[in-house]
Amino acid sequence: MIKNKALGRGLGALLGEIEQAYDNEVPNDDAILEIPLKSIKPNPYQPRKSFNEESLLELGESIKNDGLLQPIVVISDIDGYTLVSGERRLRASKLMKLKTIRAICMKVDDDRMRHLALIENIQRDELNSIELAIAYEELIKIHNITHDELGTRIHKSRAHITNTMRLLQLSEKTQKALIDNKISSGHARTLVGLGEKDQQLLVDSIIGQKLSVRDVESMVKSLKNDTQRAPFEEKESLSYDFSSLKKKLDEYRLKTSFKSNRIIIEFSNELQIEQFLSKLS
């Protein structure tokens, strides 16, 4: 199978793409523009969806007092600019009601924009677990590579890639609880494979009772054991007609009880057992 050589140089070269924007494409200060904030549109391929308001305010205060140390990266379009890199810096500047922002204008196509947004966030650990899983999934599809190959190229273990992507199997409610930091990634990983109702039950328990990951692992194990026993319990609940047998046993003057598919015969002594066995033979 032929691997997708997107952008000519492949995924590995993208890891330094943002730095190259500064080193190679900005030979002097004249290449750094002062752009009105209102003319910049967000990156449509930004994998990060949630931003900590308090953290943005702190960054905004720093930008307001000390200036923007690292310009954002944009591309020019017909009606202004589109952000390539620097979402937090842009949002923080808007919170401070600044009018302009320092920026580097690159020449990239849509494919490279998507890649840069994914790689920048992955390398800076700015994504939550679900956003990270989506980013990994997209990179694997774009480049047609395995978990091992992706792990090698972004310097992460295959187990980390696989375990992170498994979180996408969780229900939407469980994923939201993880995104909102109501449960940890450790909690979430133990819930993979459970039905939606069981996930919700355990998420509520984790939040309400402040359960540890080990506590949840024990509860999940118990739930899975109950599920495995269910087919046998269902069979045991079937009911049979033992009326003729009961009548026969009554003739032997034996104390008996019947429940679903169970027959219980009580004997007073060994002699009664011998007599019963003799009649059966």
| Coil, helix or strand at residue 196 | helix
Beta bridge partners of 257: 264
- How far apart are the C-alpha atoms of 214 and 257, rounded to whole Å? 44
Give all strands (DSSP E) within the chain, no chain letters. 32-36, 40-41, 72-77, 80-85, 100-106, 255-259, 262-266
The tokens describing 172, both together, are: 């939407």
Q: Are strands 262-266 and 32-36 parallel, antiparallel or unpaired?
A: unpaired
CA angle 100, 102, 103 (to 5 degrees): 120
| Pair of tokens at residue 88 | 């937090």
Reduced to 3 states, what is the DSSP secondary structure of residue 84? strand
Using an 8 Å Cβ cutoff, are 95 and 62 in contact?
no
Contact 203, 173 (CB under 8 A): yes
Q: Which two tokens stand for residue 81?
A: 């600019």
- Beta-bridge partner residues of 105: 74
**CB count in 10 Å sphere of residue 74:** 25
Catalytic residue positions, numbered: 87
What value does the CA radius of gyration of the chain take, rounded to a whole number of Å? 32
3-state secondary structure of 33: strand
